Structure 1
Amino acid sequence: MTHLDEIQQAILNGRLDAIAELPVPESYRGVTVHADEVDLFEGLESRDKDPRRSLHIDDVPTPELGPGEALVAVMASAINYNTVWTSIFEPIPTFKFLRKYGKLSPLAKRHDLPYHVVGSDLSGVVLRTGAGVHNWKPGDEVVAHCLNVELEGPDGHNDTMLDTEQRIWGFETNFGGLAEIALVKANQLMPKPAHLTWEESAAPGLVNSTAYRQLVSRNGADMKQGDVVLIWGASGGLGSYATQYALNGGAIPVCVVSSPEKAEICRKLGAELIIDRTAEGYKFWKSETEQDPKEWQRFGAKIRELTGGEDPDIVFEHPGRETFGASVYAARKGGTIVTCASTSGYMHQYDNRYLWMNLKRIIGSHFANYRESWEANRLIAKGLIHPTLSKTYSLEETGQAALDVHRNAHQGKVGVLALAPEEGLGVRDEELRAKHLDGINAFRGA
């Protein structure tokens, strides 16, 4: 039995107090991309790039543990769009991030390697903590958010997202969560929700925290009761949490989806106002270079038809190029467009007359600080927000999982098992779970 097997068995048998006495393995399996393959997809369109070709399962050395850090035995992880970007080497290969980080300090130099262990979500058990860590110990069951900060300068001390050395763990740093062991900063750790399985508790991290800041936080849209919130991709990884936050916060979500099946998922969550953009046939672009304002107007009229004549107070944006012109148009006078991503393209175009003459605001929102992530995880732990896990893959199937997300052939979040040998393990509070099974399973089989 290997050291990793011993750790796995101790966790599965509930002997968490034994973790501190077990040796840390010298190596582990992780999902990687390779620096010598950054030209693998040269000449191909983004849609034709296949993550199954670029994502590998490698045995990699366990990194040195530094001050303020923790090694975590990963029971489960999840796929985010940043793993898709990493796997297709867009918009730039992530090795550029690792090289830049590696120049920061001798400790950061560990991250500058010819391979990149990816993944920005995890649930698992703390194996070891570095010097100066007081709030966590070996054997603690945890999830991790993906904000990596240094906080040596003043800029991040009001909002850590503004730290000059802010990075996304597993995307702009190495040793990510799609692996059997991960290296995190201790201030990324949060308690694992006791009523969820390993795979369920791993799924919310990145997208739940991102949606919380973008929609609820004062750093984002600062949503209030009664706000009409237009949510693009409302059944997807981000949108499914935005829909839940809108409903929980007394707002009125208008859910934009692309199929009747996705519309039904939104109804399961409790949403009533739904636009199937495929059925309605919206084409916001006449060509690659010209948008169609008449389609913006038709879209805005549909929203007002659903809301009884009201325009959105908030537009929850993340598709980017394809939808941004329509989003700026659709927001009410004095309304807010808050954006956290650009999955359909980074170069946004919109008619600025609708922005400046109507006193609208565009807010950029990127992930979340520790406090926002903690609050978002607390809501999961209390059963007020639920994971949106639809399907789980093995570590060996990570390439296929990433391909599904790349092609939008998924609903909600896609999970990946690491040291957990099967689904359904890790539940500690069966009573709370029983109260929320419908919500927890809303996306299952979708």
Structure 2
Amino acid sequence: MADELDSIGGLDVPDTYRGVTVHADEVEMFAGLESRDKDPRKSLHLDEVAVPELGPGEALVAVMASAINYNTVWTSIFEPVSTFKFLERYGRTSPLAKRHDLPYHVVGSDLAGVVLRTGPGVHNWKPGDEVVAHCLNVELESPDGHNDTMLDSEQRIWGFETNFGGLAEVALVKANQLMPKPDHLTWEEAASPGLVNCTAYRQLVSTNGANMKQGDIVLIWGASGGLGSYATQFALNGGAIPICVVSSPEKAEICRAMGAELIIDRNAEGYKFWKDEDNQDPREWQRLGAKIRELTGGEDPDIVFEHPGRETFGASVYVARRGGTIVTCASTSGFMHQYDNRYLWMNLKRIISSHFANYRESWEANRLVAKGMIHPTVSKTYALQDTGQAALDVHRNAHQGKVGVLCLAPEEGLGVRDHEMRARHIDKINRFRGV
């Protein structure tokens, strides 16, 4: 196998490759439509594009598999802004960054693959190495990032705020995005945790986030989804008590399979936190709080793991315990949050913002996957040419866990190096499959 990987690393880099793109001349194609009616299948293209110049501290990776994240959905429907604004802004920072400012954007913020080439100054990785990539692209020329790289003034999300992302046959990354591929996983399984696993780790476990401890009660919205499924695993793995909010009996069963016992099916309970477009219903917050206390024996959540945003944020602030923490990233249901500040200020609660993860946090999150303590949540895998349909599934919440995409890998199931370890964890690895 080492000879095979060396041969991949020794291949000539092609002049072009296939990548999933959006086009700058189509940013107005969904003008006037509601978000829910915008179809990624119309905006995501599979194009033959030029391989970018390899710069210092960078690597070209042959991408075996990738995955869909909500940032690819946002990119595909040009919300909240066109990502071409990000590329243009990045392109102004240096002559080398100008490579990213193109009339097309190769998207995708996950990958598992093999290093093809490394640029000057790269010492820890070589052609032939099997890797996964986290999605933090950072310049580190500012002092702001040297305590926490997520605070760097030139911090960006690769494949969303930069070009040459992972939904492609070749990707351009910084060498400090690379991490070892877990040996017991297939390409598509190894590609899927990246963004969501690292995000959930910082948001819930890290001292930069909620700093979860043993015994904490953690309310997790969308607990069987791409982000929530990792939050649920981290809570269970860390001795906390997750309360998993889901939207169907099938999703509830997935949470039980992960080991969670306290489940709220929000559709079965019929929660309607908004009376209309402008007004929330505090009685529904109270009803949710009562349900939580019923499940916990009278306790409120120490931590609320927030990512839906507008739809749920008022309820999240209300139900957190006195002195509790609401930790938020993303806003898949809307960015303009509203809540009653009396329940925050008078009860000494905290709102903590969290955005992806730094390299150390990402490395630790990936290490837990490699040790078989946290598991991938792939439910379905698409071919590269069907990425638009995969993104539509995520856009419409018609998926469970993570949706994988095969890039250079010709079929599912390839890339496993440690079959013995895989056999020990196979049921957990496959628990989202076919749901």
TM norm structure 2 = 0.99
Amino acid of the residue matched to residue 82 of structure 2? P
Question: Which amino acid letter does the alignment assign opposite residue 5 of structure 2?
Answer: L
Structure 1 residues 163-210: Cα deviation after superposition (integer angstroms, max 9, x where no partner) = 000000000000000000000000000000000000000000000000
Q: 2:415 aligns with which of 416, 423, 426?
A: 426
Q: Distance in 2 between matches of 1:391 and 1:102?
A: 35
Partners of 2:3 and 2:410 lie apart in 1 by 15
Q: 2:33 aligns with which of 34, 39, 44?
A: 44
For 1:120, the equivalent position in structure 2 comes to 109
Q: What is the alpha-carbon distance in structure 1 between the residues aligned to residue 228 and residue 10 of structure 2?
A: 43
* Map of 1:7 onto structure 2: none
Match of 2:62 among 64, 70, 73: 73
Q: How does 1:112-151 map to 2 (within 5 A)?
A: 112-151=101-140
Is the partner of 2:167 in helix, strand or coil? Answer: coil
| Alpha-carbon distance between aligned partners in 1 of 2:264 and 2:80, rounded to the nearest angstrom | 31
Question: Counterparts of 2:23 and 2:9 in 1: how far apart (Å)?
Answer: 33
Structure 1 match to 2:322:
333
Q: Indicate the residue corresponding to 1:188 in structure 2.
A: 177
CA RMSD of aligned residues (A): 0.8
SS at match of 1:190: strand
Q: Residues 233-252 of structure 1: matches in 2 within 5 Å?
A: 233-252=222-241
Structure 2 residue matching 1:287: 3-state secondary structure:
coil
Give the deviation of 1:15 after TM superposition: 1.2
Matched residue, 1:8: none
Matched to 1:34, the amino acid is H
Contact 2:10 2:127 in 1 (8 A): no
Unpaired stretches in structure 2, ≥5 consecutive residues: none
Matches within 5 A, 1:264-413: 264-413=253-402
**Using the alignment, how far apart are the partners of 1:225 and 1:243 within structure 2?**
14
AA in 1 matched with 2:24: A
The alignment partner of 1:321 has SS state of: coil
Structure 2 equivalent of residue 90 of structure 1: 79
Q: CA deviation at 1:17?
A: 1.8
Q: Which amino acid in the other structure matches residue 98 of structure 2?
A: K
1:22 is aligned to 11
Q: Secondary structure at the match of 1:184?
A: strand
d(CA) in 2 for partners of 1:83 and 1:19? 28
Match of 1:32 in 2: 21
Aligned counterparts of 2:228 and 2:49: Cα–Cα separation in 1: 35
What secondary structure is seen at the aligned counterpart in 2 of 1:15? helix
SS of alignment partner, residue 13 of structure 2: coil
Q: Write the deviation string for residues 347-406 of structure 1: whole angstroms up to 9, x where unpaired.
A: 000000000000000000000000000000000000000000000000000000000000
State which of 210, 218, 223 in structure 2 corresponds to 1:229. 218
Question: 4+ residue stretches of structure 1 with deviation over 6 A?
Answer: none
User: In 1, distance between residues paired with 2:25 and 2:220?
Assistant: 39
- 1:200 equivalent to 2:189? Answer yes
- Give the % identical residues: 85
Aligned length: 435
| Aligned partner letter, 2:401 | G
Partner SS, residue 436 of structure 1: helix
The letter for the 2-side match of 1:279 is A
| TM-score, with structure 1 as normaliser | 0.97
Structure 1 CA distance for aligned equivalents of residues 423 and 62 of structure 2:
27
Amino acid at match of 1:232: W
Distance in 2, matches of 1:193 and 1:61, equals 30
**Matched residues in 2 for 1:178 and 1:303: separation?**
40
Distance 2:221 2:30 in 1: 29
Match for 2:159: what amino acid?
G
CA distance in 1, matches of 2:107, 2:5: 26
